Structure 1
Amino acid sequence: MQWSSQSCRAHVFAAPGLEGTTAKVYCLDDMLEPDEMQRLASMEEEPATCFITPQEPHVFNIRCFNTTQEIRLCGHGLLASARVVLEQTGSSSVTFQTCSDSVKARYDTKNDSIEIAFAPLHSASVSPPKWLKECFSTLPLQVAQAGPTDGYWVMQWPQGTLQNLQVDAEKLSMNTQRALIATEAATDDIYDYYFRYFAPQHGVIEDKATGSAQRVLISYWSEILNQCNVKARQYSKEGAELLGRVEDQDVWISGNVDIER
C-alpha cells in the first residue's frame, strides 16, 4: 500500500448554484495528540479538519475536529478523507475507524463517485416539547428523536416553510443537548426532501452541509417515500446537494468531492 504524509483541502456536496462545504485533510504516519489536533483545527478555521493514519491494509484511523471540539461522526469530512485515501492508495474500498464508529468507504464505479456507509439511525416519534414556541418562528408538523440524549431532533415542517424558518440558536441550546435536523418534503422534481441543521450546543449554529444528518434522514424519508434512493438539498446560506440510498443494512451517503491541491 502506498502512503505518504500530505495535506489538502476538499470541497464537498457542491452542485450548480450550491457552494457545499469544505474540509482540511491531513494524512499522517502517526496520530497526533488530541490537543495538537484541536489546535491545528482551530488554526485552519474549516468546518472540519480530519487527521488520518494507517492502521492496517485498507483500514485507517480518523479523527475530525471543528474549530472548538471533536466531531464524533463527520459525514463531509469522511467523504473528503475517503477521496484522498482511495486516490493515494489506489484502493477501491477502505474502512475508517472513528472515535465512535467503523465507517466503510468505496469508489462507486457506476456513478463515478465516492460513497460512505453508516449503520442506519432510526428516529421515533415523540410528543412535541414545550419549548418549541420559544425557538421557532413556525411550529413543525412532526417531531421525532434519534440516538442518545445528545443525538438528534428530527422535525418535519410543512412544505414551503423551511427556507425562511427562523431558529433561535441560543434558546435551542438552552433547552436541549440534541442537534436539530429540520426537514420538509421537496416542492420540485429535482429533490426528494430539503433540510437544515442546527447544533449550537456543539459549536455549530447552522451547518453549511451535513453528511451525518443523512444517516437519520435517509431512513426517515425512505420509509415515507417508499423508495431506496433519495436526493436532498440542504437549505443553508451556501446550499448543498447530498445523495443517499438504503442498501442491505447500511445507509450510503455520497456527493460531489473536489480536491484542492
Structure 2
Amino acid sequence: MKQPSIISRKEVSVFSTPTLKGTSAVVYQLGKATPSNQLQAIAGEEGAPATCFFYQLKANTYCVRCFNASQEIQLCGHGLLATAKIIARLGVKNFSLSTKSQVVKVACESESDRSDNQVWLIFDDTSIIASQPPSWSNKVFNELPDAVFTVGDSDGYFVMQWPDGFNLKSLTLNPTELTKHTDRALIATCKTTLPEYDYCFRYFAPQHGVVEDKATGSAHRVLVSYWNKRLNKCNVKALQLSNAGAEMIGRYDVGKVWISGAVSILE
C-alpha cells in the first residue's frame, strides 16, 4: 500500500489552563489527499482524542479530516482549532477549513499581551428547537432536566438544561440506555454560580464511541448560541466539567458563532 505523503506531525494541547487539563490532538500536514482507511489506521495507532490531517486545496482553503481511534469525526471542534493553529503558524492569517460536513472560516486576532495569535473558528448560527423531555429520561439520568431542546437531524444533539447553579458533576448517566434510545449526543448544561464563567456543561456521546468527552468544541458552538439568547451576552466563557476540565470562550455576532480557547503547540 502506498504510504501517505506526510509533511509534518505536531501534538497540540487545546482548552487547557494551569488547573484544567483540556484535551489534545495530533495534527498531520499532508502533501495531498489520502484514502480514509490509511488515515484511520494512523489515528488508531495514535490513540489520541483526535488525529487530524490537512492539506491545501487552494489559496487560503485547506481540507481537514479528523478521526478518533475507531471512526471519523464529522465535526471536531478541538481538532479544527488545533489544525487552525498549525496553519496560522505557517503565516496564513484568515482562511477556511473544508471539513467532511461543512466549510468553517478561521480568523486570527493579535492581542497585545500575547506572543501568539488567538485563533477563532466561525460558524453559522444553528437552529435550537424546544422539545418535550424524552419518555426514557428517567432511565438515563439520576436527576431530570428543566428544559430539553434538539439541534440538527436524528444524529445531532440534545441540549438539556438543569437549574441555575445545579451541580452538574453530581449528574449520572446510563450510557447503555442513552445508546438504546437515541443517536443524538447529549449536552448537559446550566448557568453557573462561578464568577469567572457564564455557564458549564458536560458532553456525552456513547453512540459515537465517547461516553463522556474531555473537551468538546462542537458542543460549545451550540451552547454559545443557546446561552446568548438566555443571558443576552455576546461574549461568553464556559467551563466543561469533565474529569480533565476545559475552558472555552465564545462570541455571538450577527448570526455567527465564534469559538476559541487556549491552543498550544507542544514543541
Q: For residue 118 of structure 2, what is the aligned residue in structure 1?
A: 113
1:167 aligns with 2:192: no
Q: Deviation of residue 161 (structure 1)?
A: 2.7
Q: Distance in 2 between matches of 1:68 and 1:120?
A: 30
Q: Deviation of residue 15 (structure 1)?
A: 1.1
Q: Deviation of residue 16 (structure 1)?
A: 2.4
Task: Write out per-residue CA displacement over residues 112-163 of structure 1, whole angstroms, 9 at most, x where no aligned residue.
Answer: 4111111122311111111000000100010010011100000001222311
Q: Secondary structure at the match of 1:5?
A: strand
Q: Distance in 2 between matches of 1:181 and 1:143?
A: 10
The alignment's TM-score, normalised by the length of structure 1, stands at 0.96
Give the residue type in structure 1 aligned to 2:135.
Answer: K
Q: For residue 145 of structure 1, what is the aligned residue in structure 2?
A: 150
Q: For residue 203 of structure 1, what is the aligned residue in structure 2?
A: 209
Q: Distance in 1 between matches of 2:60 and 2:255?
A: 21
Unpaired runs of at least 5, structure 2? 1-5
Q: For residue 88 of structure 2, what is the aligned residue in structure 1?
A: 86
Q: For residue 266 of structure 2, what is the aligned residue in structure 1?
A: 260
Unpaired runs of at least 5, structure 1? none
Q: For residue 102 of structure 1, what is the aligned residue in structure 2?
A: 103
Q: Deviation of residue 249 (structure 1)?
A: 2.6
Give the residue type in structure 1 aligned to 2:225.
Answer: S
Q: CA RMSD in A?
A: 1.1
Task: Write out per-residue CA displacement over residues 178-221 of structure 1, whole angstroms, 9 at most, x where no aligned residue.
Answer: 00000010111100000000000011110000000112101100
Q: Distance in 2 between matches of 1:231 and 1:161?
A: 18
Percent of pairs with identical residues: 45
Counterpart contact for 1:120–1:249, Cα < 8 Å = yes
Instruction: Give the one of 139, 145, 156 matched to 1:134.
Output: 139
Q: Judge which range, 201-210 or 112-121, deviates more.
A: 112-121
Q: Judge which range, 102-111 or 218-227, deviates more.
A: 102-111
Counterpart contact for 1:122–1:220, Cα < 8 Å = no
Counterpart contact for 1:173–1:201, Cα < 8 Å = yes
Q: For residue 60 of structure 2, what is the aligned residue in structure 1?
A: 58
Instruction: Give the one of 34, 37, 40 matched to 1:35.
Output: 37
Q: Distance in 2 between matches of 1:247 and 1:210?
A: 21
Instruction: Give the one of 125, 134, 141 matched to 2:130.
Output: 125
Instruction: Give the one of 239, 250, 256 matched to 1:244.
Output: 250
Counterpart contact for 1:23–1:50, Cα < 8 Å = yes
The alignment's TM-score, normalised by the length of structure 2, stands at 0.94
1:166-245 → structure 2 map (5 Å cutoff): 166-245=172-251
Give the residue type in structure 1 aligned to 2:96.
Answer: T
Q: Distance in 2 between matches of 1:209 and 1:94?
A: 24
Q: Deviation of residue 92 (structure 1)?
A: 1.1
User: How many residues are paired up?
Assistant: 257
Q: Distance in 2 between matches of 1:187 and 1:169?
A: 28
Q: Distance in 1 between matches of 2:227 and 2:32?
A: 40
Q: Secondary structure at the match of 1:124?
A: strand
